[in-house]
């Protein structure tokens, strides 16, 4: 990568904001305030440039070509695999499988490992705070295999009920699949404890890292999870690419996912042998450009410094929580002790969608609705929330604008 990163020791927000071209635009005549980072983060110039650079200078299919362009494209694509390995602390690059995103990574495990290992009467445990991506693939598998899906309940603060979890574990538990950080509540789950307990019962654990990977330091070896999934577009990278990490032995033993080019060693009508890891799970031409730019996004995060980003986001979370609580009738949904910079709230007598529209009129992008976590909304007995989620480029001044916008909207709507 040719781009150099020049971030000061402490987080220089003006300098960071300068590197995100979209932040210069206006919405409805107002400067854009982007608080929908849990849905997808904005992209720094370096990431956008990496896409343009690939298509302008070395667009070629990877792995099979011997010409210079193919070699350059292959090297850049594989460099992202190394970057991902470092980003999540995997033991080997063979444990990093590129997918379309978290959703596809979870489905890959359900359709391969799940099909092979889950039998009638076996049990899979998820939690009440899962994204639909970590519910539906397991429902499909359980229906298919006549297995049982069990759910860890969540308390009124939005934390996992660990005592209930312990009681759900048993000799038939095959897998626990848990979100690391809730996209709807911001709750950080005690994954280390969850994994230890599952392993003591001989169960494997999949962690949905869609929200955690951008905020927390991820070390899959220390965590000892069996599978870990995340998406590029939530870590300042492009859409359409993500990662499945799996322990090498599990990935070696698992059956293949999709058939096609690249995932094979030899094909004949008498039979086909499959490629080595990680290519065994990467059939067909992958998303080359976005994968390369994903690597650039991870480098960008590394250069800014995850700890400095986290400190800044935590300050924003604390400030916003304090200010939001002063708005009459507003209730924060999700007040776990361990949280990242996601705030969901409801306002008595006001529909979240109406709030979202009025805030958009002021250039403020928030998310409203069930956040792909309908069972969680049901457990709180609400149809949905308004959610503000913060990233490295957000500021206290933007939160002040949100508060002004909310106060005006609430007055108008209630």
C-beta of 208 vs 282, nearer to ligand PLP: 208
Stretch that binds ligand PLP, among 49-57, 100-108, 146-154, 302-310 (CB under 6 A): 100-108
**Half-sphere exposure of residue 283: CA atoms within 13 angstroms, side-chain side:** 8
- Position 288 contacts ligand PLP (CB under 6 A): no
Name the active-site residue from 372, 382, 403, 413: 372
Separation of alpha carbons 387 and 414, rounded Å: 19
Q: Minimal CA–CA distance to 301: which of 19, 2, 14?
A: 19
Separation of alpha carbons 301 and 303, rounded Å: 5
Which of 103, 177, 291, 394 is the binder for ligand PLP (CB under 6 A)?
A: 103
- The phi and psi torsions of 242 (rounded to 5 degrees) equal -160, -170
Stretch that binds ligand PLP, among 43-51, 70-78, 96-104, 250-258 (CB under 6 A): 96-104
Q: CB of residue 251 vs ligand PLP: minimum separation in angstroms?
A: 20
- Position 46 contacts ligand PLP (CB under 6 A): no
C-beta of 101 vs 295, nearer to ligand PLP: 101
Concerning whether 372 is annotated as a catalytic residue, the answer is: yes
- Position 389 contacts ligand PLP (CB under 6 A): no
**Half-sphere exposure of residue 38: CA atoms within 13 angstroms, side-chain side:** 26
Other Cβ atoms closer than 10 A to 2: 7
- Position 187 contacts ligand PLP (CB under 6 A): no
- Position 343 contacts ligand PLP (CB under 6 A): no
Q: Which two tokens stand for residue 410?
A: 């609430």
- Position 47 contacts ligand PLP (CB under 6 A): no
- Position 168 contacts ligand PLP (CB under 6 A): no
Phi-psi region of 146 (alpha: psi -120 to 50; beta: other; left: phi over 0): left
- Position 158 contacts ligand PLP (CB under 6 A): no
Residues 6+ apart with CB under 8 A from 105: 97, 99, 227, 229, 230, 242, 243, 244
Stretch that binds ligand PLP, among 131-139, 275-283, 297-305, 340-348 (CB under 6 A): 131-139
Which of 19, 42, 231, 385 is the binder for ligand PLP (CB under 6 A)?
A: 231
Q: Which helix (H) or strand (E) holds 393?
A: none
C-beta of 158 vs 405, nearer to ligand PLP: 158
CB 311 within 8 A of CB 12: no
Residues 6+ apart with CB under 8 A from 261: 283, 284, 285
Separation of alpha carbons 315 and 333, rounded Å: 19
Count helices and strands (H / E) in the chain. 16, 17
Per-residue binder mask for ligand PLP (CB under 6 A), 353-372, x = binder: --------------------
Which of 108, 126, 179, 391 is the binder for ligand PLP (CB under 6 A)?
A: 179
- Position 211 contacts ligand PLP (CB under 6 A): yes
Q: CB of residue 6 vs ligand PLP: minimum separation in angstroms?
A: 30
C-beta of 209 vs 405, nearer to ligand PLP: 209
Parallel/antiparallel/unpaired status of strands 264-268 and 271-274: antiparallel
Which of 102, 112, 189, 389 is the binder for ligand PLP (CB under 6 A)?
A: 102
C-beta of 147 vs 181, nearer to ligand PLP: 181
- Position 210 contacts ligand PLP (CB under 6 A): yes
Stretch that binds ligand PLP, among 8-16, 167-175, 205-213, 276-284 (CB under 6 A): 205-213
**E runs forming strands in 93-234:** 96-99, 123-127, 148-152, 173-179, 204-208, 227-231
**Which residues are catalytic, by number?**
372
Contacts to ligand PLP by CB under 6 A: 101-103, 131, 133-134, 179, 183, 208, 210-211, 231
């Amino acid at each position: 990568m040719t781009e150099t990163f020049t971030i000061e020791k402490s987080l220089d927000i003006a300098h960071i904001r300068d590197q995100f071209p979209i932040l210069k635009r206006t919405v409805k005549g107002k400067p854009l305030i982007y608080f929908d980072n849990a849905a997808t983060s904005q992209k720094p110039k370096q990431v956008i440039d990496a896409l343009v650079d690939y298509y302008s200078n070395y667009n070629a299919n990877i792995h099979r070509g011997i010409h210079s362009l193919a070699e350059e494209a292959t090297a850049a694509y594989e460099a992202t695999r190394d970057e991902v390995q470092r980003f999540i602390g995997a033991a080997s690059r063979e444990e990093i499988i590129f997918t379309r995103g978290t959703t596809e990574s979870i489905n890959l495990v359900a359709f391969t490992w799940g099909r092979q290992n889950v039998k009638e009467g076996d049990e899979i445990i998820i939690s009440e705070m899962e994204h639909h991506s970590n519910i539906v693939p397991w429902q499909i598998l359980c229906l298919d295999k006549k297995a049982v899906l069990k759910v860890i309940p969540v308390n009124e603060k939005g934390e996992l009920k660990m005592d209930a979890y312990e009681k759900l574990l048993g000799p038939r538990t095959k897998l626990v699949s848990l979100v690391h950080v809730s996209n709807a509540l911001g709750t950080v789950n005690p994954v280390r404890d969850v994994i230890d307990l599952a392993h003591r019962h001989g169960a494997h654990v999949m962690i949905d890292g869609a929200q955690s990977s951008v905020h927390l330091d991820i070390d899959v070896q220390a965590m000892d999870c069996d599978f870990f999934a995340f998406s590029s577009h939530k870590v300042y990278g492009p859409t359409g690419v993500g990662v499945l990490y799996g322990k090498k032995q599990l990935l070696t033993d698992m059956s293949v996912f999709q058939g096609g080019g690249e995932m094979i060693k030899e094909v004949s009508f008498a039979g086909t042998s499959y490629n080595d890891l990680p290519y065994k799970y990467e059939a067909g031409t992958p998303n080359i450009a976005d994968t390369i730019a994903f690597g650039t996004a991870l480098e960008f995060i590394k250069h800014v410094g995850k700890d400095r980003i986290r400190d800044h986001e935590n300050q924003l979370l604390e400030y916003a929580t304090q200010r939001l609580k002063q708005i009459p009738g507003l209730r924060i949904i999700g007040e776990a002790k361990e949280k990242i910079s996601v705030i969901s709230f409801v306002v008595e007598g006001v529909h979240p969608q109406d709030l979202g529209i009025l805030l958009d009129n002021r250039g403020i992008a928030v998310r409203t609705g069930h956040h792909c976590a309908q069972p969680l909304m049901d457990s709180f007995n609400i149809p949905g929330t308004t959610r503000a989620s913060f990233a490295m480029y957000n500021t206290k001044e933007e939160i002040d604008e949100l508060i002004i916008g909310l106060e005006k909207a609430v007055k108008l709507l209630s």
